[in-house]
Amino acid sequence: MTEHVPLTRGAWNVQADDPEALGDYWASFLDVVPNHCSGMEYLPAYESGGVPMMFQPRTTPRPEHRDSHVDPTVPWGQRGPYVDRAVSLGATVKWDVLDEHPHVR
Per residue in 50-72, pLDDT tens? 889 999 998 888 778 766 667 77
Chain CA centroid to CA 56, Å: 13
Residues of the chain with pLDDT > 90, as a percent, come to 27
Average pLDDT over residues 38-57: 88
Average pLDDT over residues 29-43: 90
**The overall pTM is greater than 0.75:** no
- What confidence tier does 25 reach under pLDDT thresholds 50, 70, 90? very high
Give residue 4's pLDDT.
63
Fill in the amino acid letter for 50: G
Q: What is the pLDDT of the chain when averaged over all its residues?
A: 82
- DSSP string computed for 18-50: SHHHHHHHHHHHHT---EEETTEEEE--SSTT-
Give residue 42's pLDDT.
92
Average pLDDT over residues 31-37: 91
- DSSP-derived 3-state class of residue 102: coil
